[in-house]
């Protein structure tokens, strides 16, 4: 059962739910090795997945500014052998990464991609047959809009992009009173 929020007005609810959110994501990625984390930032999720699931994780991000922190965490957690962080633009994943993944995850990054559809198409290309994708992002109309004045996608837009990118079995959930969207799907091209 997902936690309900009491007063979401101007609080940064995302800080409050961060730990529970990561736990939920780890719970969703029970099987699947290797894992791709698109827009990995400081590689925290990559380290957590490696630590908890023992899986190999490749994190990619256009910015490597968070990698040093991620590598320090990997060192502290003993996950260095399982986690790699690469400075890669996900718009050209397929031509830059010589690897296929069972699962791709992307947290709080979809809305930041300059060409989100292109990124999703590239992610699908590096997924193994019946590989799965899990997208987590802020939702249009969520508290994130008043906190950061960014533009977020509607459920319809997300579903449509995923379909256009070649994913099937698309399912959307809206945990924490629609503060977030969890979008899952699988590659339907194989």
Ligand X SMILES: C[S@@+](CC[C@H](N)C(=O)[O-])C[C@H]1O[C@@H](n2cnc3c(N)ncnc32)[C@H](O)[C@@H]1O
Query: Residue 108 Cβ, how far from ligand X at the closest point, in Å?
Result: 4
Binding mask 56-85 for ligand X (x = CB under 6 A): ----xxxx----------------------
Interacting residue with ligand X among 32, 34, 39, 131 (CB under 6 A) = 39
Query: For residue 155, what are the CA distances in angstroms to 112, 149, 178, 184?
Result: 16, 18, 10, 12
Q: Is 41 in the site for ligand X (CB under 6 A)?
A: yes
3-state secondary structure of 173: strand
CA 140 to chain centre: 17
Q: Which is nearer to ligand X, 7 or 123 (CB)?
A: 123
Distance CA 100, CA 61 (A): 17
Interacting residue with ligand X among 51, 56, 91, 102 (CB under 6 A) = 91
CB atoms within 10 A of CB 146: 10
Number of residues interacting with ligand X: please give it, by CB under 6 A.
16
Q: Which is nearer to ligand X, 107 or 161 (CB)?
A: 107
Q: Which is nearer to ligand X, 5 or 86 (CB)?
A: 86
Query: For residue 75, what are the CA distances in angstroms to 49, 71, 82, 107, 127?
Result: 14, 6, 11, 23, 28
Among residue numbers 126 through 165, which ones bind ligand X (CB under 6 A)?
Answer: none
State the residue for tokens 């007005």. 9
Query: Residue 157 Cβ, how far from ligand X at the closest point, in Å?
Result: 17
The binding site for ligand X (CB under 6 A) comprises: 39-41, 60-63, 89-91, 107-109, 112-113, 119
């Amino acid at each position: 059962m997902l936690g309900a929020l009491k007063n979401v007005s101007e609080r940064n609810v995302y800080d409050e739910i961060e730990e529970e959110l990561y736990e939920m994501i780890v719970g969703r990625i029970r099987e699947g090795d290797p894992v791709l984390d698109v827009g990995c930032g400081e590689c925290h999720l990559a380290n957590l997945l490696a630590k908890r699931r023992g899986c190999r994780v490749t994190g990619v991000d256009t910015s490597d500014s968070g990698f040093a922190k991620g590598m320090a965490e990997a060192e502290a957690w003993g996950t260095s052998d399982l986690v790699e962080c690469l400075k890669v633009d996900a718009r050209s994943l397929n031509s830059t990464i010589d690897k296929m993944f069972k699962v791709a995850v992307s947290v709080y990054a979809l809305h930041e991609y300059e060409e989100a559809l292109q990124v999703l198409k590239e992610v699908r290309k590096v997924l193994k047959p019946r590989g799965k994708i899990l997208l987590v992002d802020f939702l249009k109309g969520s508290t994130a809009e008043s906190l950061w004045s960014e533009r977020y996608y509607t459920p319809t837009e997300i579903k449509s992009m995923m379909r256009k990118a070649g994913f099937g079995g698309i399912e959307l959930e809206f945990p924490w009173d629609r503060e977030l969207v969890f979008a899952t799907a699988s590659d339907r091209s194989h």
